[in-house]
Amino acid sequence: MIDYFLFLLAFAASAAAPGPEIAAIVGRVLAGGMRAAIALAAGIIAGKLLMLSAALLGLAGLFAMLGPWFGVLKFLGAAYLLYLGLKKWRDAGRILEASREAGLPGRAAELFLGLAMTLSNPLAIMFYLALLPGMIDVQKADLRVFGLLCGIITLTMTVIVLAYGSLAEAARRLFSSPGSKVAIDRAAAVIMMGAAGLIACR
């Protein structure tokens, strides 16, 4: 079990480091509360599980072959995040964004954004390919091993999302006056636009 514990530590250290995914989560929580970030977080977690599956199945070559399509995903995700940031800046202070974005189309777009952010990161698959062989006997990896690794990733990401999200939610509630809401909304907009830039540039 020590190998799985080491995998958990390495994955947690990598996933918790501030980057485009964390910035997007914080931006969405600041903009609309914890519930507004659920679909985005689910997309990010699903993307990480797909990357793990690809690494265990030895599909790194397929990822390299489909590289241009992942580039398209990256820019679509960045463009959508930029759109959300610009929209939040324009509507700063108005209290109708959360209800307007809570429908199925909005959740589907957020889920896609989370997937796009994770799958378009060229370093993500390399992280698993570099980490797994030294800790797990990939040749003997069965459904039990796969399920355990998926559980580690899902639980770790849930804790990280809740930790960052709770801090953002606390800041959002602390500054609840109309003037403060404008400032918080614009901070969320800047974070989302910054995340879009980081995604497009990596």
Per residue in 70-100, pLDDT tens?
Answer: 567 667 767 776 877 787 788 776 644 443 4
- Please state the separation of Cα 172 from the chain's center in Å: 20
pTM reported for the whole predicted model:
0.72
- Total domain count for the chain? 1
Domain coverage including residue 136: 2-11+20-201
pLDDT at 99: 39
In whole angstroms, give the CA distance from residue 174 to residue 25. Answer: 18
- Please state the separation of Cα 67 from the chain's center in Å: 20
What secondary structure does DSSP assign to 26-43, as a single string?
HHHHHHH-GGGGHHHHHH
Q: What is the pLDDT of residues 43-79, one digit of tens each?
A: 999 999 988 888 777 655 555 555 566 567 667 767 7
Query: Is residue 33 predicted with pLDDT exceeding 90?
Result: no
